[in-house]
Structure 1
C-alpha cells in the first residue's frame, strides 16, 4: 500500500485484527440468554433508554436472559447523546448493583454508556482519566472488563464492534471519548428486526453514519505510513487503512449506496433494513480497525456547540444534533479536501456509492463523491449543510477551536490538516445545494 504521509525511517509494517465475534440474523436477540450464560453471567445489567425500553426488542432480551436463569437489573435511563455526567451516573449505578455482566439493547448511546459503566465500575477512576488526549489523560485501561453483549437497534453507529465510547462534554462545548480495545463488547448480537420500528429520520441519520464511517476508514492514511511503536502493545486502536479493513469498508459503502435511501423512505422495505443493518456492523468493524478522520473530528464540534436543533425522528429527545447528522453534514466538504491525497480510493468509494465514474479523471474524484453524498442527503430529508442546523460563518472560529483538539482523528486523515484548513472546510460545509 502506498502512503501520502512521508515514510518514517522506522516504518510500520504490521497491522493487527481483533474483531468482535458476531451473531447476525432474525431472532438473534432471543438467543442471548444462552450467550450470557456461556460467558458466566448470573447478575446482568440490561442497559437501554426510555424509548427503546418500551419496545419488543428489550422485552425479548429480558425474557431470554431470565429464561436462562439470569437475575436481570434494568438500567433504562441512558441519555441519548450521552454526557460526562450521564456516563458517571450509569457507572455509579453499575458499581452499586454489583453486576457481573452487561447487555446493551439500543443505539450507539446505549452501547457506549454500557462500555463506560463497565469500565468505571470495574476499574474505578475519574472519567477524564481514561479520556483521549489532549482532552483527557489517556490512562490505559488496567485490565479486562466484565463481559458485555451489545445488541444494536439502529443501523448506524457500529458501536457493537468497537472499543470506543463517545460522550458530550458540555462545559467545554465539545465531544470526546475513550478508545481502548478492552472496551470492545465480548459479542455483537445483531437482529435486524429490532430496527424495523425506527422513524425515517433516525434511519437516515444513522445510515449516513454508516457511510461516513466506511468512507473515512477506506480513505484513512495507510497503516504503514506511521512509525512502528516502541512495543507491539503500543499500536493504536486506529491503525490506518489496511487490506482487512478495506474489504469491509468497501462492502459497507456498496450496501449503503444500494439500500440507505430505500430503508429511509419505506419503513416496510425489510430487505433494505436488513442489509443496512449488516452494513452498519461491517462499517463498525472496519473503522474500529482503521479509524475515522476529518468528518468525525468536525462532527464533535458541530454536536458539542449546538443543543437547540431538533432533528426529524428525534423530537422526543429535545434539542441536539444527532451524531449521524453531525458527521455527514461535513462529509462532502471533507472528501473534496482529501481526494487529492488518494483520488483512486475516492473514485472507488464514489462508484460503490452508486456514482457514475465513467471517464472520470483523478481531479474529479472529490467532487463526484461529494455530489453523490449530497444527492443522497437531499433525497432522504437531511439538513442542507450547517446553515440548516443553525450555524453561520460567524461560528467558524468556535467550530475550529472545538474540532482542533480531536487530533486522534485528524491524524488519521490521508493528508495533513491545519486549523486554517478546518476553517475552510466548515465554510464549505455551510450549504450543498
Structure 2
C-alpha cells in the first residue's frame, strides 16, 4: 500500500543547506567568518559540559581579534523543554541586542540558539511557533540574525536543518518548530571537537545520523505529492535525487566507521567520517524529511520514566534523542518495506558494507531490520522500548504522542494509522 497518485503530481523539489566549513581546526576561524557579516556583539550559546571543557570559551576568545564582543551563556538544557527555551530567550532578550549568535554544542544547544534567534527577532512567544496541533504553527515574519552552528557531537544534523526540537512538559510530548528561516547561516564542522564524546553518546547520536539517512532515503518521493504553489512549499519535500545522494554517502561512511568510533573514540579517521556522515545525513533529511522512527521517538523521549543512559550527565531521567529514534526503527522499516522494496534493500546493502556477517540467506523484507539490529547490538543500544522502561500498557499513550507528529508521518512512503503504530511499538518492546 502506498499513497494514492496525486491528480496533479509535483514536479519541483527544493534543496537548501547552510554555508559549510569542514575540517580539523575549522572552529578557529569563526571570528573571521563573523567579521564578514559586520557583527560586533555576539552571544555564544553552549551547555554546562561543553563550557566546563573550555571549548566554547576558546571559540569566544578568538573573536576578539576581529573586534567582536563575544558573551558566553552556558545555560542550555540537554534535550530542551518549553521551560528551558523560554528561560534562554528571556536571558537573550534581557542582555541583548545581539548582532549574531554562535551555538557550540550538541543538537540541544543548536536548537536552543535557533529558538533564541527566532524569538529575539520576531514578535510572539514559543507556543505561537510550535508545529500544529501542539502550537499555532506561525511563520516568522522577519529575517533572523546570522547563526553559526558548531556541533560538538556527531548526530543531530541540527546545524543543517530548519528544525528546533523540544519537549512540551505539560503535554509530555516532544514537538518542534519548522521554518526555512531557522536554518543556521553557517555550519562549522570541526572533528577535533568530538574526540572527547563518550562511547554512549557516540552510539546514541550516531543512531540519529543513521535514521536521518534511512528515513530520508525511504521517504515518499517528491512526485507523490500534489503540486504546490510556491508559497506552500515546505523544507521537507520528500525523497529526491540530491537528498538521495547525501543519504547514500552517509550510509557508506557509517558502515565503515560507526563501530570503530564507538570502540575507539580517539580514532581521528573514524571521528572525521562520523562528522562527515552527520553533515551528509543532515543535508539529506533537512530537505527530504524523516518519518516513522522520528515520529515515534517524540513520545518515547517525552514520556520517559526512570531510564538513565550511559555516559550522559545529570540525574534526570532521559532517553537521548538518537536512542529514542532507533528503538522502533527496525520494525518501522519492516512495516514500510512493501512501499519501496528496492530502496530498503539498497540502504541495507550500503549499511552492511564489507561486513563479515553473511546476509545472503536473509529474506529481502528482513534485510534492513537485521542489519540494523546487528549494529545496535554491537554498539550497546538498549534492546527495544522495553529496555528503557515501557511496557504493553504504555502503547496507547505512545501511539497518541506519535500520531500527533503528522508533519513527519506524512513523509512516510505509505499511510500510517494508529493501528499500524501500535503494532510497531508492540513489536519494538524487545528487538532481539
TM range (shorter): over 0.9
The residue matched to 1:54 in structure 2 has which SS? helix
Identify the residue that residue 13 of structure 1 maps to in structure 2: 11
8 Å CA contact retained: 2:56, 2:72: no
Residues in 1 aligned to 2:361 and 2:149: alpha-carbon distance in whole angstroms: 42
8 Å CA contact retained: 2:14, 2:235: no
Alpha-carbon offset, residue 20 of structure 1: 1.0
Identify the residue that residue 22 of structure 1 maps to in structure 2: 20
Identify the residue that residue 91 of structure 2 maps to in structure 1: 93
Identify the residue that residue 34 of structure 2 maps to in structure 1: 36
- Picking from 264, 269, 281, the partner of 2:262 is 264
Query: Per the alignment, do residues 307 and 45 of structure 1 end up closer, same or farther by CA in structure 2, a change over 3 Å counting?
Result: farther
Q: In the alignment, is residue 299 of structure 1 matched against residue 294 of structure 2?
A: no
Alpha-carbon offset, residue 149 of structure 1: 0.3
Residues in 2 aligned to 1:25 and 1:365: alpha-carbon distance in whole angstroms: 38
Alpha-carbon offset, residue 365 of structure 1: 3.4
Residues in 2 aligned to 1:324 and 1:380: alpha-carbon distance in whole angstroms: 13
Map 1:396-415 to 2 at 5 A: 396-415=395-414
Alpha-carbon offset, residue 130 of structure 1: 0.7
Identify the residue that residue 79 of structure 2 maps to in structure 1: 81
8 Å CA contact retained: 1:351, 1:357: no
Unaligned runs of 5+ in 2: none
Residues in 2 aligned to 1:240 and 1:65: alpha-carbon distance in whole angstroms: 39
Alpha-carbon offset, residue 64 of structure 1: 1.7
The residue matched to 1:316 in structure 2 has which SS? coil
Extract structure 1 runs of 4+ deviating beyond 2 A: 315-318, 355-361
Task: Give CA-to-partner distance per residue, 1:272-318, whole Å, 9 cap, x none.
Answer: 01100110011011100000000000000100111421001114353
Q: In the alignment, is residue 237 of structure 1 matched against residue 228 of structure 2?
A: no
Residues in 2 aligned to 1:274 and 1:118: alpha-carbon distance in whole angstroms: 29
Residues in 2 aligned to 1:124 and 1:66: alpha-carbon distance in whole angstroms: 31
8 Å CA contact retained: 2:60, 2:71: no
Residues in 1 aligned to 2:377 and 2:16: alpha-carbon distance in whole angstroms: 37
Task: Give CA-to-partner distance per residue, 1:227-271, whole Å, 9 cap, x none.
Answer: 112x21211110000001000011101111211111011122111
8 Å CA contact retained: 1:338, 1:366: no
Between 389-398 and 48-57, report the one with greater CA deviation: 48-57
Residues in 2 aligned to 1:36 and 1:315: alpha-carbon distance in whole angstroms: 32
Residues in 1 aligned to 2:365 and 2:85: alpha-carbon distance in whole angstroms: 38
Between 303-312 and 351-360, report the one with greater CA deviation: 351-360
What TM-score do the two structures reach when normalised by structure 2? 0.97
Task: Give CA-to-partner distance per residue, 1:103-143, whole Å, 9 cap, x none.
Answer: 00000000000000110111031211111111111111112
- Picking from 328, 331, 338, the partner of 1:330 is 328
Identify the residue that residue 427 of structure 1 maps to in structure 2: 426
Alpha-carbon offset, residue 174 of structure 1: 0.7
Alpha-carbon offset, residue 56 of structure 1: 3.9
Query: Per the alignment, do residues 307 and 170 of structure 1 end up closer, same or farther by CA in structure 2, a change over 3 Å counting?
Result: farther
Residues in 2 aligned to 1:107 and 1:297: alpha-carbon distance in whole angstroms: 20
Q: In the alignment, is residue 393 of structure 1 matched against residue 392 of structure 2?
A: yes
Identify the residue that residue 182 of structure 2 maps to in structure 1: 183
Task: Give CA-to-partner distance per residue, 1:23-49, whole Å, 9 cap, x none.
Answer: 000000000000111112111010000
Map 1:132-143 to 2 at 5 A: 132-143=131-142
Between 66-75 and 345-354, report the one with greater CA deviation: 66-75
Query: Per the alignment, do residues 30 and 9 of structure 1 end up closer, same or farther by CA in structure 2, a change over 3 Å counting?
Result: same
Identify the residue that residue 102 of structure 1 maps to in structure 2: 101
Residues in 1 aligned to 2:36 and 2:53: alpha-carbon distance in whole angstroms: 26
Identify the residue that residue 50 of structure 1 maps to in structure 2: 48
Residues in 2 aligned to 1:16 and 1:315: alpha-carbon distance in whole angstroms: 39
- Picking from 36, 40, 58, the partner of 1:60 is 58
Q: CA RMSD in A?
A: 1.4
Unaligned runs of 5+ in 1: none
Residues in 2 aligned to 1:296 and 1:277: alpha-carbon distance in whole angstroms: 21
Task: Give CA-to-partner distance per residue, 1:53-74, whole Å, 9 cap, x none.
Answer: 1224213211221222111111
The residue matched to 2:72 in structure 1 has which SS? strand
Between 370-379 and 193-202, report the one with greater CA deviation: 370-379
Identify the residue that residue 369 of structure 1 maps to in structure 2: 368
Query: Per the alignment, do residues 359 and 379 of structure 1 end up closer, same or farther by CA in structure 2, a change over 3 Å counting?
Result: closer
8 Å CA contact retained: 2:220, 2:414: yes
Map 1:263-282 to 2 at 5 A: 263-282=261-280
What TM-score do the two structures reach when normalised by structure 1? 0.96
Task: Give CA-to-partner distance per residue, 1:211-232, whole Å, 9 cap, x none.
Answer: 0000000000000111112x21
The residue matched to 1:143 in structure 2 has which SS? coil
The residue matched to 1:39 in structure 2 has which SS? coil
8 Å CA contact retained: 1:252, 1:279: yes
Task: Give CA-to-partner distance per residue, 1:410-433, whole Å, 9 cap, x none.
Answer: 000000000000000000111111
8 Å CA contact retained: 2:5, 2:224: yes
Task: Give CA-to-partner distance per residue, 1:383-410, whole Å, 9 cap, x none.
Answer: 0001110111111011001111000000
